[in-house]
Structure 1
Amino acid sequence: MRIAVVQLAADIDAARNRELIASALAGIEPGSTDLVVLPEAVMHDFGSADHDLAAVAESLDGPFVSSLTEHAARLDTTIVAGMFERTDGLPYNTLVVVGPDGLRSTYRKIHLYDSFGYRESDRLRAGAIEPVAIDIAGTRVGLMTCYDLRFPELARALMDTDPVPDVLVVPAAWVAGERKVDHWRTLLAARALENTVYVVAAAQGGDRYTGHSLVVDPWGSIVDEVRGTDTAVIRADLEPRVVARSREVNPSLANRRMRST
């Protein structure tokens, strides 16, 4: 699987963000990728704690998903990106999976970021406890969002889906702070190593977030990383033989005696 991971800092202007995404994707050649991963909340940043996300949330057939569909068709690829999905009440923090023909799947963030003095649940609603995995270019891909990373049981639940994913995708807006980059890198490597999967993490950059988008292989080693918070695109080839070999040498999934279900 050929992937591109896009790091950028989103604005609270949704139209401006669509321009930022178009600019970031402009350097990707059509047909050169199977999957493009954008950060959490790239449709519209979280903004300040009193910013009304319900007022700016979009439907799944709104301008954001429509623009991603156009990009996916032009690039002949699949795009995963984060948005705020409109509902009758508080919106969902949703990942959309978009192909050339439009929306393919959604994942609504299960674990809301009520931590480090912040309460995401004041402005957003949690999704149903339903792990979501999807086939992309012949590879099974599991979906997680940001704070989900701190809950290894979600990654394990994804390993109990059939077929077992070879890749976990983690769009994020990982808030900056003391030791936060260390947490980010350590948790991503742990999820990769304990589940013998590639982990693909697209983070927001800028002043508020840690950046450091990266790709980790099933051995827990970093394949590539954005070293900082600037807008950037990194690329990697995810090899099925690497996953297979890691599971042969380290059959921890096969040796499990405790299940998440």
Structure 2
Amino acid sequence: MSDAPIRAEKVTKVFGGLTAVDGVDLELRRGEVAAVIGPNGAGKTTLFNMLTGLYRPTSGRIRLGERDITRARPDQITALGVARTFQNIRLFPTMTARQNVMIGRHSRMKAGVFGSIFRPPWVNREEREAEERAGEELKFVGLKADLLDRTTASLSYGDQRRVEIARALASDPHVLLLDEPTAGMDPRESAELAGFVLKVRDERKLSILLIEHDMKVVMGISDRVTVLDHGELIAEGDPAAVRQDPKVIEAYLGRSAA
């Protein structure tokens, strides 16, 4: 089996006349935390959307282990063990934190239309197990017990992030993609989130790929960093080397410091 749980091979995505991602190679190695960075419009989220089936590459291939998932649907990719969060939190605001996480568990549940309508005993048992699992995941991500049955609209931004990560973990992934997980967080919350990402990697034995703008977080937790600019890969390597790369400084780090 390949040592790369998920990889992109020369993937390109064109929207009309705009090339959002241009021939990018990327691999996430087993058990690592890797980051994708770059200025706004660099193609980072477009790349994530191709890895998770929301966008189909114009050219190139996406592989999960040895399986070609280039043309797979998002639900199929989730069932194969890939979960993600989004830059803009996508929770159901009128549902509770627990209910939102139960939705993430549905990809591992057997009940279909028949079970939902006729509700044999095993369906009720499966739903009880999903409810228990949701509570466990919310505890794991650090949501306070008195918030589990509150609507997500009533939760703080940081707690909504926790719920979204718990929902992703409920699907039993082996690959986790986090899109701007510290967006909207203060420095203390960002530091806590960074520590939590490492906890997830170590305790759940996951491979984690994240898009992140907070360079302190990136440099603190990443084993490897990939840098995009205008849809092209301009650098890749360990954080210290990438930070000193002249192309990266010109395209991103220097621009951020200016």
Using the size of structure 2 for normalisation, the TM-score is: 0.35
Using the size of structure 1 for normalisation, the TM-score is: 0.35
Instruction: Pick 1 or 2: higher relative contact order, CA cutoff 8 A, min separation 6.
Output: 2
Q: Could you say which structure has the larger radius of gyration? A: 2
Structure with the largest fraction of helix: 2
